Amino acid sequence: MRVGIGILGGGTVGGTLARKLLEDREVIAAKSGIDLELVRVAVRDLSLPRVFPASYATDRPEDVVADPSVDLVVEVMGGLEPALGLVLAALDLGKPVVTANKEMVAAEGPTLFTRAASKGVSLLFEAAVGGGIPLIRPLSESLSGERIRRVLGIVNGTTNFILTAMESEGWSYEAAVAEAQRLGYAEADPTADVSGADAGAKAAILAGLAFGVWVGPDRVFVEGIEGLDAADLVYARQLGYRVKLLAVAEDTGDGVVARVHPAFVPLDHPLSGVRGAANAVFIEGPDIGELLFMGPGAGGGPTATAVLGDVIEAARELLAAAQVAPRIRFGPGTVLDFADVETKWYLRLEVVDAPGVLAQIAGVFGEHRVSIMSVWQEGRGDAATLLLVTHDAPESNHRAATDALRHLDVVRQVAATVRVVTDEP
């Protein structure tokens, strides 16, 4: 069933979302049973180049909201106004809203949630915290039965990118800020990132969802990274720490508190290893223990993907009364036989240590078109242990080569075979 989508904002996030909606319409329909049709995209400056066809662009966002062929509104223009007025207008028309605007949600959350509920429509904001990381839904749904004690995280990609580049690459503060802007991580005004205000809004949202108490951005203690001296990043390393801009939301037992500030984090703590624009959030509770969510916290692709997930969810709820297709659907596709899939193997062979042994073993791999990446041998008298790692080759070739090795007189035992999984595709 068709759902018309109007997007307010066609920049880093909105532009990518528009492109994804156009390119992936059939794939989304096959997976979700919902036909998402892009109707209009509101921008400020019609003369700027876009990553979606110019025919979709308008500089009248109120017309996008009011358009009867727009069933669902996505707000990715940012800031408080006119975004808030437009979102409230959409809700009043009974149109679900998806937003990535943490500033607006943190400042006006209770108003927005109440208005959406009174109109019986969704207001979803997965991308407002943690960019592409699924965080809002796990926190507000999956963990709604846990007494969360603390949420601790790196929630601003720009500042993490800046701190990583300064510390590891020796970049200047100014160069790192400029690169974060170029890569689409930074807010329209990067002051919101480096001052800690962006992380502060996210900390307010996290605290509200974790503890069920609306903290609001004005009650969050915020200190940014502008006052940091590059020398202290170096001293931190010497002392066994890395400097991170941390957001902390806690229920102390006496009440709820949220704060954002630079912090020395021990080098062996997982948060200290979070690099570049990545975000990571720990959630701690008495029964769940400790959860870690980590991934790309900023940028058009990750953020638009999180927004699109919300769009599909909101569209599904919109169509629920009309009995859309089942929530999970399976379409035609190819399921591969694992024997045909390319794998890398580690092998430990117990072999005779004599001239020509390695050549025989290499010959077997060659016959089965398996290329060897590395070999390490440890000799023990007339015997030796041989460790090999292969390049990618079909699983069936590896199996056949290993069977053939077992029949070689010089191989006393194929003592171990373990598949090697690397980051390479």
Per CB under 6 A, the segment of 37-45, 182-190, 280-288, 309-317 that binds ligand HSE is: 182-190
Separation of alpha carbons 354 and 383, rounded Å: 8
Classify each residue of 201-225 as buried b or exposed e, where b means 16 or more C-beta atoms within 10 Å of its C-beta: bbbbbbbbbbbeebbbbeebebbbb
Which positions ≥6 away from 292 have C-beta within 8 Å? 270, 280, 281, 282
Give whole-number Cα distances, 127 to 40, 82, 133, 138, in Å: 21, 19, 8, 13
Residue 112 interacting with ligand HSE (CB under 6 A): no
The nearest distance, CB 175 to ligand HSE, in angstroms, is: 16
Binding mask 131-150 for ligand HSE (x = CB under 6 A): x-------------------
The nearest distance, CB 380 to ligand HSE, in angstroms, is: 55
Residue 105 interacting with ligand HSE (CB under 6 A): no
Q: Distance between alpha carbon 308 and the CA centroid of its chain, in Å? A: 13
Residue 156 interacting with ligand HSE (CB under 6 A): yes
- One residue of 39, 98, 186, 283 binding ligand HSE per CB under 6 A: 186
- One residue of 75, 103, 108, 198 binding ligand HSE per CB under 6 A: 198
- Report how many residues bind ligand HSE under the rule CB under 6 A: 11
Separation of alpha carbons 105 and 339, rounded Å: 50
Residues that bind ligand NAP (CB under 6 A): 9-14, 42-45, 48, 61, 76-78, 82, 100-102, 127, 131, 184-185, 187-188, 298-299, 303
Active site residues per annotation: 202
- One residue of 75, 187, 251, 313 binding ligand HSE per CB under 6 A: 187
Per CB under 6 A, the segment of 132-140, 156-164, 324-332, 363-371 that binds ligand HSE is: 156-164
The length of the chain in residues reads 425
The nearest distance, CB 221 to ligand HSE, in angstroms, is: 19
Residue 16 interacting with ligand HSE (CB under 6 A): no
From ligand HSE, ligand NAP, none, which one binds at residue 156 (CB under 5 to 8 Å depending on kind)?
A: ligand HSE
* 8 A C-beta contact, residue 320 and residue 312: no
Q: Nearest to residue 351, comparing CAs of 418, 405, 403? A: 405
Largest Cα–Cα distance of the chain, in whole Å?
84
Q: Kindly state the tokens that stand for 422.
A: 């690397």
Separation of alpha carbons 4 and 69, rounded Å: 6
Separation of alpha carbons 227 and 66, rounded Å: 45
The nearest distance, CB 185 to ligand HSE, in angstroms, is: 4
Strand runs (DSSP E) across 14-122, as ranges? 35-42, 57-58, 72-75, 97-99
Residue 297 interacting with ligand HSE (CB under 6 A): yes
> Which C-beta is closer to ligand NAP: that of 100 or that of 220?
100
> Which C-beta is closer to ligand NAP: that of 154 or that of 393?
154
Q: Which residues sit at the interface with ligand HSE, rule CB under 6 A?
A: 131, 156-158, 185-187, 193, 198, 297-298
